[in-house]
Amino acid sequence: MTATPRPVPSPDAVAFLHDPTRPDTSWFGQSLESLRKRHAEEFVWARGEPAPVAGIEQVDAAGVPARLYRPSGAENVTLVWFHGGGWVIGDVDCHDELCRALAADSGCAVLSVEYRRAPEHRYPAAIDDSWTATAWAHEHFDRIAVGGDSAGGNLAAAVAHRARDRGLPLELQLLVYPVTDARADSAPYRAFETHYTGFAGIDGFGTDSHDVIRDIWEQYVPDPARRAERDASPLRAATFAGLAPAFVVLAEHDILRGEGEEYAARLRAAGVPVEVAHYPGQIHGFYPMVGRMADARDAVARSAGALHAALRQRRGLVRGAVRVVGAVTDPRPAGNTP
């Protein structure tokens, strides 16, 4: 039997993980207040030169606070963005540099949503806020897209399903390594624990990743029975037909990679246009780190291109088509089915 090759991180990922000046953002072993503070400090540490935009304003999106970025000042199209952080940490300040870059590169406005976080506000608070802000954007802009990373990708996918069912048109869903299924003890997750032992020289990398997944679901949706609902686990939706086209960004060495691939496959099977950008060697969380990682800058530029085509040129992905960029081929288990 051929031995499974050890996963190889990109040089940028290694440098990021081992930089001694990077704040300690370990999920366990510190208070929630400290975790949120350290997470915010990490984004300040990773910050580069902010992309220029014409205006930034705080808005009340039907009761949901949000920050609106306009690259020229008069955009009539927008991306509604939901930040990552396991529904527990992260905020619009953390994603400020990212949203500036997306707005400047795409020529579209970006509405960054400050949805309510767990554990103070459990499910479905975050998805309800995300939907409310999206509906507000629909009333104030001619065309809209939704997007988010990780837990924010989960919210974007869930909003896309609601939008289809309620007749709210979306031009694109930008899904960055999205959480799509609450089955936190699936076989692929358990395999990730084993395969990623000692990844990038970090003891317990795989186990820690799995433990975080379990904990965020406990924080966000403490009732296991509700985790199967489509708003929590959009991968379990009965049908994907009629959803907005998708641009999906995935990282090779991410415990969420499999379910992101499966989600893209479900979209493709339903005839939804999909473009998948795989980033070999990369880790979960790389996308907003535009000040530290070349792959992040590339992924944001590609995302902005997809947004520009969908929102400003009104010619997005071709229906029924799928394009895969930079596909990874490592043989570790993918998918998130038991």
Strands (DSSP E) contained in the chain are 55-61, 64-70, 77-82, 109-113, 143-149, 173-176, 246-253, 274-283, 322-325
Q: Quick check: is 254 catalytic?
A: yes
Query: What does the DSSP assignment read for 124-149?
Result: THHHHHHHHHHHHHHHHSSEEEEEEE
Q: Please pick, among 12, 149, 181, 254, the residue that the annotation labels catalytic.
A: 254
Q: Please pick, among 83, 95, 161, 284, the residue that the annotation labels catalytic.
A: 284
Q: Quick check: is 150 catalytic?
A: yes
Q: Please pick, among 10, 106, 130, 150, the residue that the annotation labels catalytic.
A: 150
- Our measurement of the distance from residue 79's CA atom to the centroid of its chain's CA atoms, rounded to an integer in Å, reads 13
Positive/negative CA dihedral, 299, 217, 117, 231? positive
Measured CA to CA, the distance from residue 338 to residue 34 in angstroms comes to 35
Before 119, cis peptide (omega within 30)?
A: yes
Measured CA to CA, the distance from residue 307 to residue 249 in angstroms comes to 13
3-state SS track over 277-292: EEEEEEECCCCCCCCC
Neighbours of 223 (CB within 10 A): 10
Residues noted as catalytic: 150, 254, 284
